[in-house]
Structure 1
Amino acid sequence: MFSKETYVHRRVRLKKNVKSGLILILGNNDSPMNYPSNVYHFRQDSTFLYFFGIDLQGLAGVIDLDNDKEILFGDDYTIDDIIWMGPQSSLKEQAARVGITETKPFSALQQTIAEALKQNRTIHFTPPYRGENIMLLADLLNIPHGEVSNRSSLELTKACIDLRSVKEACEIEEMERHMATACNMHTTAMKLARPGITEQEVTGAIEGISISGGGMVSFPVICSVRGETLHNHYHGNTLKDGDLLLVDAGSESPMHYATDHTRTTPVSGKFSDIQKSVYQIVLNANDLAREATKPGVPYRDVHLLACRVIASGLKDLGLMKGDVDEAVNQGAHALFMPHGLGHMIGLDVHDMEDYDDTLVGYDEEIQRSSLFGLAALRLGRRLQAGFTITNEPGIYFIPALIDNWKAEKKFTNFINYDKLEAFKGFGGIRLEDDILVTENGSRIMGERIPITVDEVEKIAGKEL
């Protein structure tokens, strides 16, 4: 937990950005795996964490804008709870740690909301994503559960985005401190990447490192020799000579701030000549994108720069042809990189994506494209100092997409389909860093995980 003043200040700023009514911020509860008392690892709602900071189940916060009141709703633990859980702080003690003086039983939340509704006051809440909270909101608001998401407050959502986009010094410190765990995860994966080991063994090892570092993984681990599948969560393959192992994995810090990195390692210990050539193109795109990442620059422009670097490199290999700028303008390069360059990262690995990533990543000036590839860019708006973002270019050879575009004769003036046949078993390469936008430019957060060809080959397949 940060200092009490941090949470008080955040709520003060929020109250200035939302005009009137009640702000309702629900915490999360335990979610059963297969019977009620066997639950998934608890993860508190990120909005609740940001404004109230208490990492416990069964809570809700209300900010009464018209009467300048802040109330924490929850229940004290019973003796039966304490038998199983040990001594616990009271609700009032928890509230005091984040600057809240008024507490009420959770059952009183219904009456508080009902009274506000009788007075025709607005109840502000961000878009819910868990079924339990959707049903609770339906009960509180006396509306069908199917209408709940449509009743969420755009005013509150935009206010939260405005506050959470620019990270405070304490948040940056928390994220940077946890980068050491992320580095250990990825260097361990590189060392384990050798013939005969399974993807599941690598996955299990790095998940264990994340837990040992104080937090769960920030998203399901992507660890695959079939790296051309962008979000590949299948871990059943056995690594063999000639494979490339793509590992996209992150860890949550003890305060739930995420890391998110990707590295691609040659299972043979050395890249083949063609693997090295494609790898270097992706690394060039990563480095040049980071150099272009500065306050005031639209991240869409940085994305397009990375795409031009990739298209130019593929042209040098004979896989693309024609005018590089025009190829990128029309989206021909997206055959090889059908995703965006990066996204916000913070309390969520795709920070604030529960609010709607278009609201988070775009604004009235820069709106989301509908062009294949560019449409997948989650962050397009102008960067500001204090943004924490990912930089993750990649090149992928996706057989189904190659066959589809070839059959449709798409971009035949930019793509050499005949030469692509030999690359259908290549896989994919992605290289991802977490970046802090500074006052004058940007920098990698924490110590950079080994990434150059020489650095990766020196560590690949080595003993732990």
Structure 2
Amino acid sequence: MPAILTFPRPSVSAVIDKQRYAERRQRFLEQLGGAAAVIPAASLVTHHADCEWPFRQDSDFWYLTGFDEPDAVALLLPHRPEGERFVLFVHPREAGAEVWTGRRWGCEGAVEHFGAQIAHPRDELEERLPEYLKGAEGIAFRVGRHAAVEPLVLRAWADQLDRAPRSGAAALGLVAPCPLLHRLRLRKEPQELERLREACRISAEAHELARAAVAPGMGERQLQALIEQHFLAAGARGPAYSSIVAGGDNACVLHYIANSDVLQDGDLLLIDAGCSLPDYYNGDITRSFPINGRFTGEQRALYELVLAAQERAIEAVRPGVSAEHVHQTALQVLVEGLLELGLLVGEADAIIEQGAYRHLYMHRTGHWLGLDVHDVGAYRLGEHPVELEPGMVLTVEPGLYVSDRLPVPEGQPAIEECWKGIGIRIEDDVAVTAMGREVLTAAALKSTAAMER
């Protein structure tokens, strides 16, 4: 087949409100002080030979611009006069290239549809960047990630430093824009919450379809296809991450993505899957249920324990507490329940302090969610956990994974065969509200009764 470079092409009607992006840029400019920010877009990445992976825009670049083409560069310049503070460098319109890859917005589209005050062809960045950075007190740029742009930024800064003895001016340092941007991204705007609700709605529908369809003898990949077909049919870009469809003992592998086995009668099935919308907002849901529609005694006992831990942890989500508090809430329930079942022995507090539960529960209870599935934002500021605020969105996903993969800690009981091969995780996406919380993924059922048929 001919060599084809592909990336998604939004229609003009799909471009998000320019004003929203302008407001984000203004907040970012205020945070920058006198530093000039250089924010590159993502580039196409080779899959094999001359074929590229589907293009996925850099989330920071997208957050500030909404521009969905590769290799662009955004300059945010608080030291420049009004009308020169948002500059985009983009690939220009070019018929020879567009016949292969599709229509480009070009410089004119960057100004008209994306709010750039000035736009230049991408190949002029090297020539024009030094002038745009002149007079900035610092340069905000993420080093080590953008191989094509980094030498241009460093050269422009080095030239300023070389001229400083004569000119008396140069950017004082190179700083990372990430902490500033990621603090902004951590608290979702009302429109962002609406997009997350939509991603969660589509994701929940797919989980319900998969649970209704499952039967012994099906292939894990058949269910993956059903889930991801629904994502596409419902208008999503596709899966937000590699879907996990893990029958039986495969569920004890946290990031199992082979999805190549046949589902066995009597096993549980764990599905961890969510969609990504065209504007990159994501859903992330995990459900676990019996393949044949009926729990065994051991499966039911562990499922009800994980569900109780998850429900208690969700109830703990509210302004003023931390993600660490949510995790500890789930962990306490899990450890106390494992003690009752005889899978752990001792005192709950001591087991938690020693980590003697980690052969059964080895991950945290959640993560931020937004433009990235594991979204940006600090969990701690030094010694202090970050407190939850309205607009933050996090997953709540405790689990238990009973297998021989990890050694049993000294002093804990050997695992009986009847428990082995049971892997359970229950995950919902939860937005922090002024009054407490909103479970965005509630349409995906999870009660014990709903998991049976």
In the superposition, the TM-score normalised over structure 2's length comes to 0.86
The CA deviation at 1:382 is: 1.4
Residue pair 2:318, 2:433 contacting (<8 A) in 1 also = yes
Structure 2 SS opposite 1:265: strand
Q: Which of 26, 29, 35 is equivalent to 2:49?
A: 35
**Which of 404, 408, 420 is 1:405 aligned to?**
408
Give the helix-richer structure, 1 or 2: 1
Question: TM-score w.r.t. structure 1 length?
Answer: 0.84
2:399 is equivalent to residue 394 of structure 1: yes
Match of residue 416 from structure 1? 413
Partner of 2:126: 110
Q: Is the partner of 1:336 in helix, strand or coil? A: coil
Displacement after TM superposition at 1:14 (Å): 0.5
1:28 shift after superposition: 1.5
Name the CA distance, whole Å, in 2 between partners of 1:362 and 1:236. Answer: 39
In the alignment, residue 33 of structure 2 is paired with which amino acid? K
Give yes or no for the alignment of 1:5 onto 2:19: yes
CA spacing shift, 1:127–1:429, aligned 2, 3 Å: farther
Q: Which residue of 2 aligns with 1:287?
A: 311
Distance 2:62 2:292 in 1: 44
Structure 2 equivalent of residue 210 of structure 1: 231
- The CA distance in 1 between the partners of 2:144 and 2:196, in whole Å, is 26
Q: Distance in 1 between matches of 2:313 and 2:401?
A: 18
Supply the distance in 2 between the matched residues of 1:361 and 1:57 (Cα, whole angstroms). Answer: 31
Cα RMSD of the aligned pairs, angstroms, is 2.2
Q: How many Å separate the matches in 1 of 2:73 and 2:46?
A: 20
CA–CA separation in structure 2 for the residues paired with 1:120 and 1:166: 28
For the residues of structure 1 that align with 2:408 and 2:155, how far apart are their CA atoms? 50
In structure 1, the residue matched to 2:258 is 234
Instruction: Give the direction of change, closer, same or farther, for the CA distance of 1:339–1:446 in structure 2 (3 Å limit).
Output: closer
**Deviation readout 1:313-360 (Å, 9 max, x if unpaired):** 1111111222212222222222211100100000000012xxxxxx62
Residue 427 (str. 1) matches residue 422 (str. 2): yes
Decide which of 255, 266, 286 is 1:262's aligned counterpart. 286
Counterpart in 2 of 1:219?
241
The partner residue of 1:363 within 375, 378, 381 is 381
3-state SS in 2 of match to 1:107? helix
Tell me how far 1:139 sits from its aligned partner. Answer: 4.7
**CA distance in structure 2 between the partners assigned to 1:448 and 1:325 by the alignment:** 35
- Which residue matches 1:339? 363
1:350 pairs with 2:374: yes
Instruction: Give the aligned residue type for 1:181.
Output: I
**Shift of residue 112 of structure 1?**
3.3
**What's the CA shift for 1:181?**
1.3
> Does 2:326 match 1:302?
yes
- Say which is worse superposed, 292-301 or 315-324, in terms of deviation: 315-324
Write the letter of the residue equivalent to 2:352.
V
The CA deviation at 1:164 is 0.4
Secondary structure of residue in 2 paired with 1:16: helix
Q: Is the 8 A contact 2:36 2:133 kept in 1?
A: no
Aligned to 2:421, the other structure's residue is in SS state coil
Which residue matches 1:141?
154
Deviations 1:73-130 (A, max 9, x none): 012221123434565544222333332221111122112334467878532123655x
**Alpha carbons of 1:117 and 1:167: their partners in 2 closer, same or farther (altered >3 Å)?**
closer
CA distance in 1, matches of 2:354, 2:185: 34
1:450 counterpart residue number: 445
Indicate the residue corresponding to 2:97 in structure 1.
81
1:24 is matched with 38
* One-letter identity of the residue aligned with 2:190: A
Report the counterpart of residue 246 of structure 1 in structure 2. Answer: 270
Contact in 1 for aligned 2:285/2:441 (Cα 8 Å): no
Following the alignment from structure 2 to structure 1, what is the Cα–Cα distance between the partners of residues 344 and 319?
Answer: 33
Unaligned runs of 5+ in 1: 144-150, 353-358, 367-379, 459-464
